[in-house]
Structure 1
Amino acid sequence: MDDKPLRIVYCTPALYMAGGVERVLTLKANYFAEHDGYDITIILTEGKDKALFYPLSDKIKVINLDINFEELWNCSFARKIYVYLKKQRIYRKRLTAELMRIRPDITISLLRREINFLTSIHDGSKKIGELHVNRNNYRNFEVENSNVFKNIFAKFWMKSLVSHLKHLDCFVVLTEEDKSAWSELNNVVSIPNPLAFDIDEVSPLTNKRIIAVGRYVYQKGFDLLLQAWSKVEKQMPDWSLAIYGMGDRSAYKKLMEDLKIDTNRCHLCGPTDDIKHEYLNSSLFVFSSRFEGFGMVLIEAMACGLPVISFDCPCGPKDIVRHMENGILVPSGSIEKLAESMRMLMSDEIMRHNMSSCALVDVHRFQMDEIAERWRRLFEKAVSEE
């Protein structure tokens, strides 16, 4: 590469939500703009008049194409097809115009609607795709509502997606486990998400509180966690449980009523802009997801010195948690085993401290400097190839 700063464009729907994808993108973009001097532009399609949730460096340019695909949520099925095709044409035209104007060295898609046409835009940039979920659950997040039609469509969608991914210069997934799932492709690289904060404070593990973090959706398995908690709360009267995240909590409150869970010791909290503070005021982290792309909250909790208990779900936990060393891996979906593991760690202070020490050592491989170097090598390799 010459001395000119690398010019990178990220394509993603929005940055006004407190989601994991938004957080990771903001973190990486800020780092590359501030530490490497990269010329970063983020192109959005949604939330034209909404404030960004996570702070963004003044050195980063944000362009909102104002496509508003979110309008599709309120359309009937028949109208949805018409509106989608119309908006997709507008998106393709506007994104093409911006890329031809910017002439980036690298364009990165977070595998949303632009993946259908990105590689046909001849702006001279290398095209990279980033997947933040795992293959089995891409475009099928609400799997509890799956039906025959959705399953047929999902297979059609995956076949189409693979054909587009083959034309990318590189396709980045988060785990080695998910990399192995894309056997049709020879351009797949795994790079995990980076830790969102420095490892500078550690929980003393004195506050007998379990913490869980994530959106209140089926994927995160908080219904399973509450069922496990109901099996241990009476045996551990000095412990409490706190869940933090966005979303509708009404179904979980109803489940707590049905399970007769003590609301003074089990708290369904909203999102917080200082999740690190909450980790530091806890002594144990539980990860109850049915599936994941990575499980960033696992490494955040470990960076604060928390021992972790996690379902061994696809994908992420087995890349992060070393069973009975820095945490405990539980058979995916097993409420009984989850409750048993919670009970074991809640009652064994020495084990909690030993796992905490291991977690603090292991989590260094996810620090931003380490992850950024892997991305840097990928960028340099991509732009050097004809």
Structure 2
Amino acid sequence: MTQVSATFHTTGKVCGRQREVEHLLLRGLQGKGRKAVASLAVNALAAVNRRRERTAPPPSAEQVKILLLHAYGMGGTIRTVYNLAGYLAKDHDVEIVSVLREAEESFFPVPPGVRISFLDDRREPPTGLRRLLARPSRLIPKEEAAYHRFTLYTDLKLARYLRSLRTGVLIATRPGLNLAAAALTPPGVITIGQEHVALQGHAETIQAMIKRRYPKLDALVALTKADLRDYRALLRKKPRRLTRIPNAVPPMDGDRADLSAKTVITVGRMTKIKGFHRLLDAWKLVTEVHPDWNLRIYGAGPQQENLQEQIESLGIGATATLPGSTDDVGSELAKASIFVMSSRHEGFPMTLLEAWGKGLAVVSFNSPHGPKEMITHEHDGLLVKPRTVENLANAIIRVIEDEPYRRHLAANAVRTAETYDLDAVGAQWDALFDELVAPR
């Protein structure tokens, strides 16, 4: 027996067939005769599941677990999960289960009645089993955007957690976690996969795995109608329920924008997909006409240094700034008049909903799925041909110069935001739970 296997075999309170399954799983994760071991593990899991199915309690939504990558991080998915968890906690026992913990405190306020637990606490250097299993994940596909965050240790912790569940609802929130939940969660647990990124944004290998495994989920929830159509086309065999439930507008501090500030704002993680480099190129053109207006890009990420260098090279440092992250998005939005979305792709952008809720005029690239579906052109926002810097600049200039038009867009934006009210969206989750709990 290898050192890793021996350590695993004597760690934790597992016994009998379950220990056998986990031992086979770990051997497969280590890559030793993976195909043969994987086949044995699948057969063993199937046998355990058949036995559990005979004794599983009736489906219940009393307990709700939401599986998240890093609950104490910042980002749209985390914010929407907190929002949903807070709503569900009124009538359910709700726990957010975070695969990772890398910070002392949550970036966002934790909703009342919601517990948070962690599978892998990384606040200290790895020791013991975590250090021994600090190797690339075998459970999460390499093409998953967050693959580098997972290890053999998180594989083990995640597999054990999923196999420990007996009842309630499990909501997973990204492809890797959805795939793991579909493969490992035992009978008796209602499994729901929630997708925050458009299907077409996933690598082909991920889409192939989705096609094979997602039908094992009880439900799959897409955020947009376009994405729902794509999943219906891909999945020949479908989960029990395939539906669309949008995210809701979260509660925000600050007043509604009065549209007098000469400020354009955007918020997001600083990655290439957000297109902030194109926004800065467009802003250079805007400042040539309106040097008295300012651009603020809130957020952090791997592109932050490059964006700052771009600001300096374009000579727009007097009007374009990167203030960093903020835990009070609402107040910052209320200080602006125009919100710009320059993303190459979006699933269902929460920042767009937040900007609408604060009564901002919106200018956005007409990117697939999210903005294209959410925004009614010339009504509650202005859509621009994707990746066209000059067109983006001209759209911003138009909204700056035409104040009545700016106020027209903003007024309609507020009314659109009301259709994404938390109670209205939450009622759709309530209906989904009722349907999944009902006898087949």
Kept in 1, the 8 Å contact 2:95–2:115? The answer is yes
Normalised TM-score (structure 1): 0.86
Q: Tell me which of 186, 195, 218 is aligned to 1:131.
A: 195
Say whether residues 1:21 and 2:77 are aligned partners: yes
Distance in 2, Cα, partners of 1:113 & 1:354: 42
Equivalent residue letter for 2:228: K
Equivalent residue letter for 1:257: E
Match of 1:80 in 2: 136
Report the CA distance between 1:24 and its aligned residue: 0.6
Distance in 2, Cα, partners of 1:123 & 1:54: 33
**Greater CA deviation, 203-212 or 241-250?**
241-250
Distance in 2, Cα, partners of 1:324 & 1:359: 11
Task: Write out per-residue CA displacement over residues 104-155 of structure 1, whole angstroms, 9 at most, x where no aligned residue.
Answer: 1x111113534334234224011110011111223xxxxxxxxxxxxxxx32
Match of 1:321 in 2: 375
Pick closer, same or farther for the CA change 1:360–1:259 going to 2, 3 Å. Answer: same
Pick closer, same or farther for the CA change 1:85–1:161 going to 2, 3 Å. Answer: farther
**Greater CA deviation, 322-331 or 58-67?**
58-67
Match of 2:401 in 1: 347
Task: Write out per-residue CA displacement over residues 54-113 of structure 1, whole angstroms, 9 at most, x where no aligned residue.
Answer: 222352232212276xx99xx9xx95367967336513442135413xx21x11111353
Matched length: 358
Match of 2:385 in 1: 331
Report the CA distance between 1:316 and its aligned residue: 0.7
Pick closer, same or farther for the CA change 1:256–1:57 going to 2, 3 Å. Answer: closer
RCO greater where, 1 or 2, for CA within 8 Å and sep 6 or more? 1
Distance in 2, Cα, partners of 1:81 & 1:123: 25
Kept in 1, the 8 Å contact 2:380–2:409? The answer is yes
Pick closer, same or farther for the CA change 1:162–1:111 going to 2, 3 Å. Answer: farther
Pick closer, same or farther for the CA change 1:199–1:329 going to 2, 3 Å. Answer: farther
Q: Tell me which of 109, 118, 126 is aligned to 2:172.
A: 109
Match of 1:251 in 2: 306
Match of 1:201 in 2: 255
Report the CA distance between 1:48 and its aligned residue: 6.2
Pick closer, same or farther for the CA change 1:336–1:66 going to 2, 3 Å. Answer: same
Distance in 2, Cα, partners of 1:298 & 1:82: 36
Q: In angstroms, what is the RMSD of aligned CA positions? A: 2.6
Distance in 2, Cα, partners of 1:80 & 1:359: 45
Superposed, 1:45-60 pairs within 5 Å as: 45-47=99-101, 50-60=104-114
Distance in 2, Cα, partners of 1:49 & 1:273: 15
Identity %: 29
Match of 1:260 in 2: 315
Kept in 2, the 8 Å contact 1:17–1:52? The answer is yes
Report the CA distance between 1:199 and its aligned residue: 9.7
Kept in 2, the 8 Å contact 1:193–1:294? The answer is yes
Kept in 1, the 8 Å contact 2:253–2:331? The answer is no
**Greater CA deviation, 192-201 or 245-254?**
192-201
Equivalent residue letter for 1:227: D
Q: Which runs of 5+ in 1 are unaligned?
A: 139-153
Pick closer, same or farther for the CA change 1:199–1:246 going to 2, 3 Å. Answer: closer
Distance in 2, Cα, partners of 1:200 & 1:275: 9
Kept in 2, the 8 Å contact 1:67–1:91? The answer is no
Q: Tell me which of 92, 96, 101 is aligned to 2:162.
A: 96
